[in-house]
Amino acid sequence: MDKFTTHTGRVAPLRRSNVDTDQIIPAVYLKRVTKTGFEDGLFAEWREDEKFLLNQAEYKDATVLVTGTEFGTGSSREHAVWALKDYGFKAVIAPRFGDIFRGNSLKNGLLTVELPEAAVEELWLRAELHPDAEVTVDLAEREVRAGDRTWTFEFDEFLRWRMMEGLDDVALTLRDEDKIAAFESNRDAWRPRTLPAAV
Amino acid sequence: MSRTPHEAEGARPQTLAEKVWNAHVVRTGGQQPDLLYIDLHLLHEVTSPQAFDGLRQAGRKVRRTDLTIATEDHNTPTDNLFTIADPTSRKQIETLRTNCEEFGVRIHSLGDENQGVVHVVGPQLGLTQPGMTVVCGDSHTSTHGAFGSIAFGIGTSEVEHVLATQTLPQAKPKYMAVTVNGSLPEGVSAKDLILKIISITGTGGGKGHIVEYRGQAIEELSMEGRMTVCNMSIEWGAKAGMIAADEKTFAYVQGRPHAPQGEDWDAAVEYWRTLKTDEGAVFDKEIVIDAASLSPFVTWGTNPGQGVELSGNVPDPAAFEDAIERTTAANALEYMGLEAGTPMREIGVDVVFLGSCTNGRIEDLRTAAEVIKGRKVAGTVNMMVVPGSAKVREQAIEEGLDRVFIEAGADWRFAGCSMCLGMNPDQLTPGQRAASTSNRNFEGRQGKGGRTHLVSPAVAAATAVSGHLASPADL
């Protein structure tokens, strides 16, 4: 996973709440068996509208998506995170995220930051008035900075460390393989097994 | 039973979810989240290929092929069993088959009697049992919580993690109770109940919580109904939904292919009986609902929380106090092509979809067939019936339900996820309106520009006959 410490870039102010993962990337784009190449599926239906935010020249190069509450609810598709990353987003700011989406984002180096509604509103206004103004999303300091404004955000300490180090969960877990093996040796024998198959 | 946490920790009363959680902790404490052991890992073609790739790149194996099972469902055709017209879809399904062969994972492919929607197949095989941890790269994994298990959906990175380690690091959840007192009135189903719950909580109300549904109305539900309720837990943001196992649960599991037998069965049931919330256990939050007040419930908007009684009207966005809800409602009405104040019963539909992991089980088909029997699907409506699994389909045929649907003019299909998510060719066209027994009415979910009203199987059937949203009592 890519390391994330801090990122500075332009904001795309997406004034929508309840943006579910079907809207982030519709199911017809989930047929690929690779982890890349999903940028064409990002907000595919909205992008057909030439007035849509990401079709406007001033927001084309935005790398920080600022959006309304309950972003990424619904389907567990990690493709939603891959699509945002492939398109060029490095961070997403919203008042609240769907749990599975949030977990997926942090496993792929896409930083998801929760800020209160008022802060999101201010970031939207700033980006609408000054599309070329940049914001900084700083994981090391747990801060979002825009002009003279600074907001701090909460972030789980372990997840922050893992993201800043770019660590792979599987390798971390396998350090405790002895504990897994010990747990397995103590499991009840009647617990179901898929093999051999009984039908 | 040395791991039974209640005994180990003394007298502190615990919730059902805490008991199951604690019985699966491989590692706890320190800065890291708990490491949970996973008893059953379900795979399908859409969220697994990149996970298998990850294993290959790292030179890892599937740690426990005997706790892993795959089926084909999201992207499969439902008009035939063997011809997948779209080459990308075909490749995805072939990739699952090759991966399963390479890594030694059991798979139920198209044509096999245990092929079907992954959350229908697990319980059908008796692999879903009480007190387990069940995961799958699919958010509706919460379905399996109906057996008193902790079951939740995961992303592809986590699928890879479970394949490699049979565990998952998980932050400790909070615990919530939804208590449904009294009995559901005649004609009100599990689907109506869960749609009502989501309309109260909104799409984020359950965030971070494992929810236990309990109370008389829950106890009175069949296992199928309980699966419908737990299935939609994710639609109000809950980590998982569960229902304590009881005699109905044991009866459902007993005799299935992978159910414990003989002395093992006795040992299992003895343990399962301990899996209920202790007297005095504290939940972080509780919602109480009076079942008697419920009636058939349907959605009007573009998220599952935007619902109303079938007897009600399309709401006026201006009536919402919260500014965000107001905007969301206005956007939803525009997308749905609806006018505020329109009686729900006057909304005509083009398509009726009966199926999915929410309502594609045999009981759902029976309920709909009972309404449809001797009647005709309205000339303006295309009704699709998609059984949840090949086995459900076979059973429906044995019971003659296929004839009922076909004679009424419905389209009787093969098993799969189908129009629930519109990944295969079963899709709405722009502007088409559907009454759907599935779980999501998101914009474009069932096809680009398609408009979805979530309904119960009984309402779906009555709607198919009358051509507009209706309950069987309206016919």
pLDDT in tens, A86-121: 999 999 999 999 999 999 999 999 999 999 999 999
CB < 8 Å to A32, chain B: 88, 92
A60 in contact with B, Cβ within 8 Å: no
Task: Look at the pTM and tell me if it is higher than 0.90.
Answer: yes
Domain boundary among B245, B265, B286: B286
Inter-chain residue contact B35 with A179, CB threshold 8 Å: yes
CB < 8 Å to A160, chain B: none
Inter-chain residue contact B155 with A107, CB threshold 8 Å: yes
CB < 8 Å to B2, chain A: 186
> For the purposes of burial, counting CB atoms within 10 Å of the CB of B7, is it exposed (0-12), middle (13-18) or buried (19 or more)?
exposed
| pLDDT tens per residue, range A117-135 | 999 999 999 999 999 999 9
A121 in contact with B, Cβ within 8 Å: no
Q: Assess whether B176 and B304 both reside in one domain.
A: no
pLDDT at B1: 38
What element of type H or E holds A24?
helix A21-24
Q: For residue B1, give the chain A residue with the closest CA.
A: A188
| pLDDT tens per residue, range B250-281 | 999 999 999 999 999 999 999 999 999 999 99
ω into B457 cis (within 30 of 0): no
As for how many domains chain B has, the answer is 2
> For the purposes of burial, counting CB atoms within 10 Å of the CB of B351, is it exposed (0-12), middle (13-18) or buried (19 or more)?
buried
Domain assignment of residue B292, yes or no: no
Domain boundary among B224, B258, B286: B286
What is the mean predicted confidence (pLDDT) over A41-70? 96
Inter-chain residue contact B92 with A18, CB threshold 8 Å: no
Work out the minimum CA distance from B92 to partner chain A, whole angstroms: 6
Inter-chain residue contact A75 with B421, CB threshold 8 Å: yes
Amino acid in position A103: G
Domain assignment of residue B127, yes or no: yes
Q: Give the one of B125, B271, B303 whose C-beta lies nearest to A18's C-beta.
A: B303
3-state DSSP: chain A helix, strand, coil percent, rounded to 5? 35, 20, 45
Inter-chain residue contact A22 with B444, CB threshold 8 Å: yes
Inter-chain residue contact B165 with A198, CB threshold 8 Å: no
CATH number of the domain at B382, please. Answer: 3.30.499.10
Taking CA B453 as the corner, what is the angle to CA B397 and CA B236, rounded to the nearest 5 degrees? 100
Catalogue all structural domains in chain A, each as residue range(s) with its CATH number. Answer: 6-185 (3.20.19.10)
A40 in contact with B, Cβ within 8 Å: no
Work out the minimum CA distance from B239 to partner chain A, whole angstroms: 7
Inter-chain residue contact A169 with B169, CB threshold 8 Å: yes
- Do B383 and B349 form a contact (C-beta atoms < 8 A)? no
Domain assignment of residue B24, yes or no: yes
- Do A67 and A24 form a contact (C-beta atoms < 8 A)? no
CB < 8 Å to B331, chain A: 16
Cα–Cα dist A82/A93, whole Å: 17
Inter-chain residue contact B66 with A195, CB threshold 8 Å: yes
pLDDT at B10: 58
Domain assignment of residue B389, yes or no: yes
Inter-chain residue contact B303 with A100, CB threshold 8 Å: no
pLDDT at A73: 96
Q: Which of A34, A114, A170 to mutate to test the interface with B (most CBs of B within 10 A)?
A: A170
Q: Give the one of B2, B68, B203 whose C-beta lies nearest to A18's C-beta.
A: B203
Inter-chain residue contact B89 with A193, CB threshold 8 Å: no
Taking CA B401 as the corner, what is the angle to CA B400 and CA B404, rounded to the nearest 5 degrees? 100
Task: Give start and end residues of each alpha helix (H) in B106-234.
Answer: 118-124, 156-165, 190-201, 216-219, 223-231
pLDDT at B350: 98
Work out the minimum CA distance from A93 to partner chain B, whole angstroms: 17
Inter-chain residue contact B46 with A77, CB threshold 8 Å: yes
Domain assignment of residue B293, yes or no: no
Q: Give the one of B2, B35, B423 whose C-beta lies nearest to A28's C-beta.
A: B423
A73 in contact with B, Cβ within 8 Å: yes
Q: Assess whether B225 and B305 both reside in one domain.
A: no
Q: Assess whether B309 and B427 both reside in one domain.
A: yes
How crowded is residue B281: how many other Cβ atoms within 10 Å of its Cβ?
A: 18
Q: Assess whether B260 and B124 both reside in one domain.
A: yes
Domain assignment of residue B384, yes or no: yes
Amino acid in position B465: V
Nearest to B158 by CA among B133, B183, B124: B133
Domain assignment of residue B291, yes or no: no
| pLDDT tens per residue, range B303-338 | 999 999 999 999 999 999 988 889 999 999 999 999
pLDDT at A2: 80
CB < 8 Å to A2, chain B: none
* Chains A–B, number of C-beta pairs less than 8 Å apart: 209
Q: Assess whether B440 and B465 both reside in one domain.
A: yes
pLDDT at B3: 44
- CA torsion, ordered B62, B68, B74, B76, to nearest 10 deg: 90
A45 in contact with B, Cβ within 8 Å: yes
Q: Assess whether B324 and B463 both reside in one domain.
A: yes
Q: Assess whether B16 and B117 both reside in one domain.
A: yes
Q: For residue A101, give the chain B residue with the closest CA.
A: B155
Work out the minimum CA distance from A1 to partner chain B, whole angstroms: 11
> For the purposes of burial, counting CB atoms within 10 Å of the CB of B87, is it exposed (0-12), middle (13-18) or buried (19 or more)?
exposed
Buried b (16+ CB within 10 A) or exposed e, B264-278: ebeebbebbebbbbe
pLDDT at A13: 98
CB < 8 Å to B106, chain A: 194-195, 197
Per-residue pLDDT of chain B (475 residues; tens, 9 = 90+): 334 444 445 579 999 999 999 999 999 988 889 999 999 999 999 999 999 999 999 999 999 999 999 999 999 999 999 899 999 999 999 999 999 999 999 999 999 999 999 999 999 999 999 999 999 999 999 999 999 999 999 999 999 999 999 999 999 999 999 999 999 999 999 999 999 999 999 999 999 999 999 999 999 999 999 999 999 999 999 999 999 999 999 999 999 999 999 999 999 999 999 999 999 999 999 999 999 999 999 999 999 999 999 999 999 999 999 888 899 999 999 999 999 999 999 999 999 999 999 999 999 999 999 999 999 999 999 999 999 999 999 999 999 999 999 999 999 999 999 999 999 999 999 999 999 999 999 999 999 999 999 999 999 999 999 999 999 999 9
A183 in contact with B, Cβ within 8 Å: yes
SS3 B46: coil
Inter-chain residue contact A199 with B127, CB threshold 8 Å: no
CB < 8 Å to B127, chain A: 192, 194
List Cα–Cα distances, B369 to A91, B185, B382, B439, B467, in angstroms. 49, 20, 16, 20, 16
Q: Assess whether B317 and B280 both reside in one domain.
A: no
Inter-chain residue contact B448 with A199, CB threshold 8 Å: no
Amino acid in position B180: V
Annotated binding-site residue numbers of B for [4Fe-4S] cluster: 357, 417, 420
Inter-chain residue contact B324 with A75, CB threshold 8 Å: no
Q: Assess whether B258 and B404 both reside in one domain.
A: no
Query: What range defines the domain where residue B115 resides?
Result: 5-286
Q: Assess whether B306 and B261 both reside in one domain.
A: no
Q: Assess whether B303 and B212 both reside in one domain.
A: no
A42 in contact with B, Cβ within 8 Å: no
- Whole-number percent of chain A with pLDDT over 90: 95
Q: Which two tokens stand for residue A82?
A: 């891959």
CB < 8 Å to B167, chain A: 173, 180
CB < 8 Å to B241, chain A: none
Q: Assess whether B152 and B277 both reside in one domain.
A: yes
Domain boundary among B222, B252, B286: B286
A118 in contact with B, Cβ within 8 Å: no
Work out the minimum CA distance from B26 to partner chain A, whole angstroms: 6
Q: Give the one of A34, A176, A193 whose C-beta lies nearest to B35's C-beta.
A: A176
pLDDT at B4: 45
A100 in contact with B, Cβ within 8 Å: yes
